[in-house]
């Protein structure tokens, strides 16, 4: 799956993805300072804040300003100190300086998009719900997916589908998009999804082709690639893993949940390089994935991958 797994879950729904593993990796303790780089609706942050207690502080960032009111409501109910910022985590050092901080104890990033974004058709993230082809995390800036698809060259688009979406049929999909836009602009999500199904010979695709069976939508990987492209997510992640050790106190913990092989590879390589260079003294030895029960309850968690690192103590 390419949709993020309930990154920050409204009350009464499933817990955020890999919650127990995140808490074990970060080990939040009373009085510490933590940053949730992707606060969403505060699913992870609520549990972290409870453990920080009245003498701790949680700073939550989100690129999507629409998430902040609900996050504020849920965190306020905990009753411990917190601050929220409308910001991209690529600017983490600047945000810390704003709060007169240089380093913190804990940093979490849960990449991709939240269920709330997927479920809102006006955001354009979902191939199952009709809406405008937007896909911007911050709707106040940047080009939409529709604008990118109107001008991108076929070869460049095919490369993006392969590299950012792991799409095996990148070339026929890219060719179909470029051909279709000559007749009419691609402006709606289901318009693009139907085009992809035709281009890949899956017009009659079914989610459950047989009892107990399950398969990914033909447009899922293309939508993932476009979202990553629109929001420059790999570049932002590259900056985050670069500044992460400078933003952590000695002995501090960082954890990153990814949903795409390219993201996970970037995190893995950065953590291993930090370990070799002595920046980190411990990193997760193996990739941490959701248990079978979590995957069954929340299918969007199936592609979640967690890695963590601890900064070398002085």
Residue 122 pLDDT exceeds 50: yes
The fraction of the chain above a pLDDT of 70, given in percent, is: 93
Q: How many CB atoms lie within 10 A of CB 73?
A: 12
Average pLDDT over residues 21-48: 97
As given in the structure block, the two tokens for residue 133 are 């082809």
Q: Minimal CA–CA distance to 146: which of 113, 111, 207, 195? A: 195
pLDDT at 214: 62
pLDDT at 288: 95
Beta-ladder partners of 106 = 34, 253
When pLDDT is cut at 50, 70 and 90, the band that residue 260 belongs to is confident
**Domains of the chain, first to last:** 19-115+234-311 (3.40.50.150), 135-231 (1.10.150.170)
Least confident window among 197-201, 276-280, 301-305: 301-305
pLDDT at 117: 84
Ranges assigned E (strand) in the chain:
33-36, 57-62, 82-86, 104-110, 248-258, 280-283, 305-311
Q: Dump pLDDT digits (tens) for 60-118.
A: 999 999 999 999 999 999 999 999 999 999 999 999 999 999 999 999 999 977 777 88
CB 118 within 8 A of CB 126: yes
Q: Minimal CA–CA distance to 33: which of 60, 62, 56, 61? A: 56
As given in the structure block, the two tokens for residue 233 are 């997510």
How long a stretch of residues is the chain? 314
Rounded to whole angstroms, the Cα distance separating 175 from 119 reads 29
When pLDDT is cut at 50, 70 and 90, the band that residue 271 belongs to is very high
Residue 48 pLDDT exceeds 90: yes
Distances (CA, A) of 172 to 34, 176, 198, 199, 205: 45, 6, 10, 6, 17
User: SS3 of 106, please?
Assistant: strand
Rounded to whole angstroms, the Cα distance separating 153 from 156 reads 5
CB 188 within 8 A of CB 131: yes
Instruction: Give the pairing type, strands 33-36 and 57-62.
Output: parallel
Rounded to whole angstroms, the Cα distance separating 217 from 281 reads 41
When pLDDT is cut at 50, 70 and 90, the band that residue 12 belongs to is very low
> What pTM was computed for the model?
0.88
Least confident window among 84-88, 209-213, 262-266, 284-288: 209-213
pLDDT at 188: 97
Average pLDDT over residues 13-31: 90
Q: Minimal CA–CA distance to 22: which of 10, 11, 38? A: 38
Average pLDDT of every residue of the chain: 91
Pick the residue with more confidence: 186 or 291?
186
pLDDT at 175: 97
As given in the structure block, the two tokens for residue 92 are 């983490």
């Amino acid at each position: 799956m390419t949709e993020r797994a309930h990154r920050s879950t409204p009350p009464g729904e499933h817990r955020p993805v890999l919650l127990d593993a995140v808490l074990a990796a970060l080990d939040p303790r009373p009085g510490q300072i933590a940053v949730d780089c992707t606060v969403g609706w505060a699913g992870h942050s609520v549990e972290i804040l409870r453990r920080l207690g009245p003498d701790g502080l949680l700073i939550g960032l989100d690129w999507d300003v629409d998430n902040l009111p609900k996050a504020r409501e849920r965190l306020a109910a905990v009753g411990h100190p917190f601050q929220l910022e409308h910001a991209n985590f690529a600017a983490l050092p600047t945000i810390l300086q704003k709060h007169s901080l240089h380093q913190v104890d804990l940093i979490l990033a849960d990449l991709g998009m939240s269920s709330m974004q997927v479920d809102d058709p006006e955001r354009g993230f979902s191939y199952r719900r009709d809406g405008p082809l937007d896909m911007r995390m911050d709707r106040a800036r940047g080009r939409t997916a529709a604008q990118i698809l109107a001008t991108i060259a076929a070869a460049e688009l095919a490369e993006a589908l392969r590299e950012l979406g792991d799409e095996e049929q990148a070339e026929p999909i890219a060719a179909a998009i470029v051909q279709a836009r000559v007749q009419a602009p691609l402006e709606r999500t289901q318009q693009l999804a139907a085009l992809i199904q035709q281009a890949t010979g899956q017009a009659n695709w079914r989610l459950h082709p047989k009892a107990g069976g399950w398969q990914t939508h033909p447009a899922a990987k293309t939508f993932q690639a476009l979202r990553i492209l629109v929001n420059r997510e790999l570049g932002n992640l590259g900056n985050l893993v670069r500044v992460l050790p400078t933003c952590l106190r000695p002995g501090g913990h960082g954890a990153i949940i990814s949903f795409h092989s390219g993201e996970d590879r970037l995190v893995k390589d950065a953590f291993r390089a930090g370990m070799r260079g002595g920046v980190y003294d411990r990193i997760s030895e193996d990739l941490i994935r959701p248990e079978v029960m979590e995957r069954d309850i929340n299918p969007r968690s199936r592609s979640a991958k967690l890695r963590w690192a601890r900064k070398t103590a002085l």
